[in-house]
Amino acid sequence: MRPPSIQPPPSIPIRSPRAFAAFYTGVMLVAVLLFVQAAPAVTAPPWLTLALVWALMLASELSPIGLPGGGYATASAVFDLPSLVILGPFWTAVLDVAGTLVVQGAVLRKPPLKVLFNVACFAVTDFAAGWAFQAAGGRVGGLHLQNDLRALLACGGVYFLVNSTLVSTVIGLTSGPSPWRIWQRNFQGALLHHLSFVALGTLVAVTYFGAGPWGLVLFAIPFLVARQAFRLYMEIRSDLKDFVRALTEVLDEIDPYTRHHSMRVAEYAVRVARELRLPEHIVDEVEYAGLVHDLGKIGPEYQRIVQTQGALTPEDTRLINEHPRRGASIVSRVRALKRAAEIVRSHHERPDGRGYPHGLRGDDVPLGARILKVCDAFDAMTSDRPYRRALSPEQAVDEIRRGAGSQFDVVVVETLLGLYANGRFPLVPSPSSEDLVLLRTRGNVR
């Protein structure tokens, strides 16, 4: 695992400038002190081992893999861990620092500030993991698998913990959300993949002590396979969100209002879900559901109804009451979205049992659906509709407060009200009635 890119896009300001500056400076100073403290006691290892290990590190660094929460990773732990056992933390850090400078600085041409910070993060990770190995009874330059198993586990565990913490902290301080949520998004779901790198790294070390330096070359193909498997896993996670967003483009072909509404509801729902301290994978499900919660309205009969002024006919009401079920049926065809489909199915249920399509009550309604219902109502009231102008945020908040316990879940309402009162629930801009007319006209021209 490698440290992430530390600079956010130009349009995104650093969330916590002072904390970021302190963290950046602290990591740089710690890295320098670690090198200074360790340098006097080291001796030069065999040049062939150094050359082979560095070549393998360079190969791993050349193909970074993007992480869902920002930053990037490689499968470099496969070679970092055996290097810590064979060469010790000082030379491992030296090789990794040199590799990072060559690849990121000379080949990929990343900004110097970013390269230096990544170098420091990497050095801190190597020293911490190497010292954990020795503190647990391991000996640099030798390995007895049965006796050193505890030391290897300590080395791999500290390597993962320190690296993932540094990565998550720097992203959390720059682009957000919190470091803990970044950790959940980037590392929790892929924990088995990271542990597999530790196991493969252990085999590399065993092979080295049994077959000598050239035994390291035997792991070139397993390394490539492990890296490709990790890349595919991360790409699938990223592609899922892109696919869900593509579904909202379908709504744009039918009614631009519905698509813009879904994106705003998803953003509001993420804010509320995080304030409720839900795990990040649940937040993702709520976001997916928010993006596609109106997918069941893609039929022309629904577009006629949503633009109707005045009372609905019984048949119109029946059709409207079917759209959550219809949308959930579409979404559930994607295996990874089945839990999001349940949220879509229930997002018009009410605590008092007077919702639709099933008339669920209280806690029988999934929490994600309760969040979505409140956010859906807030956006509906604060954006223009074909038959009325938007309410002010204050008016919408008052309406939601009045519906707590009957129409809306009390806990979710209190959470939204708390966010709004503290200035942490800003209104997401929505198209005006005039804008929507233009969008629909443009759509008809196509």
Q: What is the pLDDT at residue 128? A: 97
Rg of the chain, C-alpha, whole Å: 27
Chain mean pLDDT for the chain: 84
Measured between alpha carbons, how far is residue 404 from residues 360, 374, 410, 412, 415 in Å? Answer: 16, 9, 5, 9, 11
For the domain spanning 255-445, the CATH number is 1.10.3210.10
Residue-wise pLDDT tens digits, 116-162: 988 999 999 999 999 999 999 999 988 888 888 899 989 999 999 99
- What pTM was computed for the model? 0.77
Work out the average pLDDT over 314-325.
Answer: 85
SS3 361: strand
As beta bridge partners, residue 73 has: 65
Q: What is the pLDDT at residue 435? A: 58
> Encoding tokens for residue 318?
């029946």
Distance CA 417, CA 399 (A): 11
Q: What is the pLDDT at residue 1? A: 47
**Confidence check: pLDDT of 11 > 50:** no
Measured at the CA of 282, the angle between CA 363 and CA 263, to 5 degrees, comes to 100
What residue ranges do the domains of the chain occupy? 17-238, 255-445
The Cβ of residue 426 has, within 10 Å, a number of other Cβ atoms equal to: 10
**Confidence check: pLDDT of 324 > 70:** yes
Say which residue, 89 or 256, is predicted with more confidence: 89
Measured between alpha carbons, how far is residue 290 from residues 42, 94, 147 in Å? Answer: 57, 48, 52
The Cβ of residue 159 has, within 10 Å, a number of other Cβ atoms equal to: 26
Work out the average pLDDT over 1-16.
Answer: 48
Work out the pLDDT band at 445, boundaries 50, 70, 90.
Answer: very low
Say which residue, 268 or 300, is predicted with more confidence: 268
Residue-wise pLDDT tens digits, 195-227: 777 788 888 888 888 888 887 777 777 777 777
Q: Looking at domain 17-238, which CATH architecture does it have?
A: Orthogonal Bundle (1.10)
Shortest CA distance to 226 belongs to which of 72, 78, 397? 78
Q: What is the pLDDT at residue 320? A: 81
Work out the average pLDDT over 81-98.
Answer: 93
CB-CB contact of 182 with 70 (8 Å): yes
